[in-house]
Chain A
């Protein structure tokens, strides 16, 4: 898993500005309208967005797809689709993506895998964004010991060998049925989400803190303060809206990292349990058989690649659209 940049390019923060383009006769457009018209022009990003929409559709309609094809993701067709050595058979008229080592339909599993990847990535990223934003904002705004405490924690977590600790936590928490933290983190999906969030939030916090620090010095904040607004109010009313843009951009770029993180954990055998199809796990299972069963690794791999690619394209597009300077 790669480290995310400490400071991605983020738009210059400013107070919400409703002025029209100077000299224009038409009604002024809000920053969001401006953003959308710029984003719309980025064709590559639109392609990414379209794919993501398709992916969400697939994820939502996976059971329908299974019904249409007639195979459930966990239905085994061992005798039809594996040979006497337990090796799977490839794509044919009924199994469009072939079968896996126990005769399950890869096509249906890839569709269900979209759910897993999206769910894990969205949940984990959401949690990480939530925690990271709050902590980063508070640290940046308040300063003092709060800042020190949060920053030091962030530093420590960022210095940890991430995958290694993830392995350790998952290994430690998977052995019993109740899991860790007194049943809060059960083995399987919740554990994976937990581990990913724990290691993602520091990146968010660091960036949010940096942004908050520069926003803090702006005049409109000064103005609010002099009007008597309290710290909390300022943070959530004035600072946060200006953080939205980098948060969205950053979140969109964080999601593919987390998708790959889940895939990596699954590759090492530590991801979600078998009944829940996961692209990472399918690639891992298919990895050893690649030379005799190319379909096992190719299809989930392509979908994984396409998904992360799409998120990256959209994230790039968002970033370019939100940052007026890149139009120079």
Chain B
């Protein structure tokens, strides 16, 4: 009896809930803006987690979505990009700077004049000065702020040295601010891509009166003062009269919600419309741990977009609809890395055999098919290497499916195959530790990779672990991990050096837990191993190096010659060093709701462009 009655109540409640849910979201009043009728509305974004590695604090944050938000809508560094797709989106332009810099005769000093009328948002409410830009650099140099990009400035900007002191006490000799509107940066060496380094959001102006209250890395993240077109909702309520009086701004609740509203102090006349359209009135980000649910909501129109990858079934549903599912190439490579010091990967024939054995098409299918990427045939993504490099495939197999026979032919030339039948029989080929991730699509990759390598006699012992943990393990030289497939790499700015320097120079190999990105240990010698106390145990003899070649390319002026130079390095790596099996160049597919009136993609950040997107209402 009781049961039936309860059911009655439930039915009524369910019906009411249904009605309420059906009556959808809020209506936003339209506003006149730069793009006429594209202006106004709220962009609702859901993501599995904010993943902010440093709580949105610009000095130490490095997650690409956060960087996109900061460069597009929140902050204005000296230089910036147009935040559009393809090549136009990779060109560098002045943002806070009024114009391109004046360069001294010796090419070492860059002098910028700041624009007039660019102001910090509430509650700071004052004009931005060159000292604010200098302060941003001081913060980067302060070790406790935890900036992950100091190596881009150390040894580059004169006098920039990582120190233990707080930012306020640091002086950088190479940065001078003769007056409020002028800043000159002197380099220790001529660096052709310096302008890119000055577009990183960490270099955007920071008000010392607020940030000096937050000496620990990440703390400033809940108090970030806007220098751009949008700010945290509720910024005006921040009480900056003293450090103790400051309460975190309501608009940003870590791991829950982040709301951006227009910065009242922003003057569009000081900005370049090619760089920013500033259409929506609000950006509402929220966390939804159920990825399926996020995309169901986008399909239903209850959310507008997500930085997360749409699961394969959504790709299938919208496979032909380029309006609801726009796809953009990003400059990201996913690869299987082999450690050149660990048997059996210390033999180049084995490494080549592995390249021939892997079913790259199978891996692509498992990841979601041609909508999520293209098979990678070498290291540098074609968007960065240019069209000349596109057809280069040194380990071509029919349909990219891998070829066990070709692989065996290569393996037969290795000393680890004692009887020359193409199948490795040496004891070093069994029980090899293989690090991978414990989530899709890696869980689908692993059976494929294991099978492929078994055909040439290599038996893997796969460990599926969490992404961050995988990075840490494999990036620790003393762990001596022989092979790992968890990793991808993306550019820091539109230049190939951001790929090759960190991944393949011996200088990048450091001791310490999780520090080394050159997991192949290209260029390692036993002297370096001892000197830097790397703890490597393995075969350190005769490891090939591309240090000299990469250095040459880095010194070249920006332009086609530089790109050609790096393409050469790519070839050398693929044919003579073979540290990787590259398997996918990413495409970003975004599922967007019908609410989005205009789609735009920020090629530099590799994410949707907040600066130009528009919402209908």
Contacts and interface: CB of A to CB of B under 8 A. Distances in A.
Q: Do chains A and B touch in the complex (CB under 8 A)?
A: yes
Interface of A: 74, 76, 78, 82-87, 101-102, 104, 171, 174-177, 187, 269, 273-275, 285, 288-289, 291-292
Contact of A84 (B369, B446, B450, B465): B369
B447 A174 contact: no
A206 to B, nearest CB: 33
B371 A85 contact: yes
Given A74-B447, A76-B448, A76-B451, A292 B473 contact: no
B313 interface: yes
Given A82-B365, A85-B316, A274 B469 contact: no
Given A83-B316, A83-B369, A101-B440, 13 more contacts: A76-B362, A78-B365, A85-B313, A86-B365, A86-B444, A101-B366, A102-B366, A104-B447, A171-B466, A177-B433, A187-B463, A275-B447, A285-B440
Contacts of A275: 447, 450
Interface string B449-465: 01100000000011111
Contact of B313 (A171, A174, A273, A291): A291
A101 B367 CA distance: 10
Contacts of B572: none
A285 B473 CA distance: 26
Interface string B426-444: 0000000100001111011
5 contacts: A76-B447, A76-B451, A86-B368, A86-B369, A285-B443
A175 B463 contact: yes
A167 B368 CA distance: 29
B368 to A, nearest CB: 5
A87 B362 contact: no
B366 A86 contact: yes
Q: Is the interface of A mostly helix, strand, loop or mixed?
A: loop
A271 to B, nearest CB: 11
B433 A87 contact: no
A102 B444 contact: yes
Contacts of B366: 78, 82, 86, 101-102
Contacts of A288: 291-292, 311, 440
Contacts of A273: 462, 464
A274 B369 CA distance: 22
Nearest to B366: A86
B321 to A, nearest CB: 14
Nearest to A285: B443
A177 B365 contact: no
A83 B292 CA distance: 20
Contacts of A292: 313, 316
A104 B368 CA distance: 17
Interface string B357-375: 0000010011111110000
Contact of A85 (B319, B439, B462): B319
B316 A87 contact: yes
Contacts of B444: 86, 101-102
Contacts of A85: 312-313, 315-316, 319, 365, 368-369, 371
Nearest to B435: A175
A42 B448 CA distance: 49
A171 B367 CA distance: 25
A275 B463 CA distance: 12
Nearest to B365: A86
By CB atoms of chain A within 10 A, which of B312, B366, B367, B450 has the most? B312
Chain B interface SS verdict (over half): helix
Contacts of B465: 174-175
B330 to A, nearest CB: 19
A78 B451 CA distance: 12
A175 B448 contact: no
A171 B448 CA distance: 24
A291 B314 CA distance: 11
Contacts of A102: 366, 444, 447-448
B227 to A, nearest CB: 41
Interface in B473-487: 473
B608 to A, nearest CB: 22
A87 B312 contact: yes
A273 B463 CA distance: 8
Given A175-B469, A275-B447, A289 B313 contact: yes
Contact of A86 (B319, B367, B463): B367
A22 B28 CA distance: 88
A300 B529 CA distance: 51
Contacts of B447: 74, 76, 102, 104, 274-275
B443 A274 contact: yes
Interface in B177-212: none
B312 A86 contact: yes
Given A101-B366, A269-B439, A87 B463 contact: no
Given A85-B371, A86-B441, A102-B448, A174 B463 contact: yes
A84 B399 CA distance: 13
A259 to B, nearest CB: 22
Given A85-B319, A87-B316, A175 B473 contact: yes
Nearest to A293: B313
B465 to A, nearest CB: 5
Closest 5 CB pairs of A and B: A85-B369, A292-B313, A85-B312, A84-B369, A85-B316
A285 B446 CA distance: 14
B192 to A, nearest CB: 42
B171 to A, nearest CB: 43
B99 to A, nearest CB: 48
A273 B369 CA distance: 25
A269 B469 CA distance: 15
A76 B444 CA distance: 10
Nearest to B438: A269
B292 A177 contact: no
Contacts of B443: 274, 285
A86 B440 CA distance: 11
Contacts of A87: 312-313, 316
A119 to B, nearest CB: 20
B463 A177 contact: yes
Greatest chain B CB density within 10 A among A83, A274, A291 is at A274
Nearest to A171: B466
B30 to A, nearest CB: 37
Contacts of B367: 86
Nearest to A83: B316
A119 B198 CA distance: 60
B463 A274 contact: no
A76 B362 CA distance: 10
A275 to B, nearest CB: 7
Nearest to B371: A85
A174 B461 CA distance: 13
A187 B438 CA distance: 13
B477 to A, nearest CB: 16
A177 B461 contact: yes
Nearest to A78: B362
B432 to A, nearest CB: 10
A87 B317 CA distance: 11
Nearest to B470: A175
Contacts of A171: 466
B319 to A, nearest CB: 7
A214 B463 CA distance: 49
A89 to B, nearest CB: 12
B69 to A, nearest CB: 28
A288 B443 CA distance: 14
Contacts of A78: 362, 365-366, 448
A104 B366 CA distance: 12
A146 B139 CA distance: 60
A84 B362 CA distance: 10
A78 B362 CA distance: 7
Residue in B362, B439, B451 whose Cβ sees the most chain A Cβ within 10 Å? B362
Interface string B401-438: 00000000000000000000000000000000100001
